[in-house]
Amino acid sequence: MTNLLSLALNPIAFNLGPIEVHWYGIIIASGVILAVWLAVSEGDKRGIKSDDIYDMILWALPAALICARLYYVIFQWSYYKDNPGEIIKIWDGGIAIYGSLIGAMIVVILFCRHRFIPVWLMLDVAAPTVILAQSIGRWGNFMNQEAFGQVTSLSFLTGLHLPHFIITQMYISGAYRQPTFLYESLWSFLGFLVLISLRHNPRLFKRGEVFLTYVMWYSFGRFFVEGMRTDSLMLGGLRVSQMLSIVLFVGAIGLMIYRRRKAHNPWYLDGAKLTVN
């Protein structure tokens, strides 16, 4: 078994002099770049200028990164209060998706209000690309051997017909682990396929409902995946992400029903030609 430890993938991609470039950052950056490209393409069809999306990203990315780290640090304060120098080391992992989404959404709302862009439309355009970036980003956790689940057996992992490199990487701290990063990555990618397949169907989504469907899809899957993880952020004896997933899932359903009753809500495919809401 000890030989398996040496077969774990190196989380460092390469060195630029004294600077170590981690796969974690490369993978997340790749997901963001692809997400922005897809959002610009869809935004152009919906009447949102590419320059507006690029400008928004310049504000949203730093806010998402800072809030993702703050979210994680707050719920791990018992460790970071004694190790404040570790707070900035995001390249070692330790950012929370829910924190990043909260930070980015605040920026999107403020930016769209400032530029007179329909907020719900912008969220609709971004939602499928965001869940795709989340799917890709989970492979950064894979490279860092984090976001894993409970102890399992080699036979179980082999029975899933996983590639050998995944099975090897899931040998952590002397035991094989459930690849919960993979479960969430696949669930998010499936959500991406569902959203892009359905969002152009006429008279299916009102403005805001692509985004709300994304919230429901992701929070539903995250609730169950989070229950299998061993590194969950906790509040008392409860998993923070599971509690938030319930709130988001129920809230998204309630908001969709409420907004459906407002007759003046335009359809998603109408784009930005109608009144800003």
This prediction's pTM: 0.92
Q: Are 112 and 122 in contact (CB under 8 A)?
A: yes
What's the rounded Cα separation, in Å, for the pair 182 and 106? 29
Amino acid at 243: M
Binding residue positions: 138
Tell which residue, 173, 123, 160, 189, has the closest CA to residue 1: 173
Q: What pLDDT does residue 273 have? A: 65
Structure-block tokens of residue 139: 């492979």
Tell which residue, 58, 74, 64, 62, has the closest CA to residue 103: 64
Tell which residue, 54, 192, 44, has the closest CA to residue 131: 192
- Which H or E run contains 157? helix 154-159
Residues 6+ apart with CB under 8 A from 179: 142, 148, 149, 157, 160, 162, 166, 170
Report the interhelical angle of 119-143 vs 180-198 (nearest 10°): 150
Residue 231 DSSP SS3: coil
- State how far the alpha carbon of 103 is from the alpha carbons of 48, 68, 234, in Å: 21, 7, 20
Residues 6+ apart with CB under 8 A from 121: 46, 48, 207, 208, 268, 271, 272
Amino acid at 251: G
Domain ranges of the chain: 2-270
Q: Give me the tens of pLDDT residue by residue for the chain, a chain 277 residues long.
A: 444 444 789 999 999 999 999 999 999 999 999 999 999 999 999 999 999 999 999 999 999 999 999 999 999 998 898 889 888 888 776 789 999 999 999 999 999 999 999 999 999 999 999 999 999 999 999 999 999 999 999 999 999 999 999 999 999 999 999 999 999 999 999 999 999 999 999 999 999 999 999 999 999 999 999 999 999 999 888 999 999 999 999 999 999 999 998 868 899 999 886 444 4
As beta bridge partners, residue 235 has 238
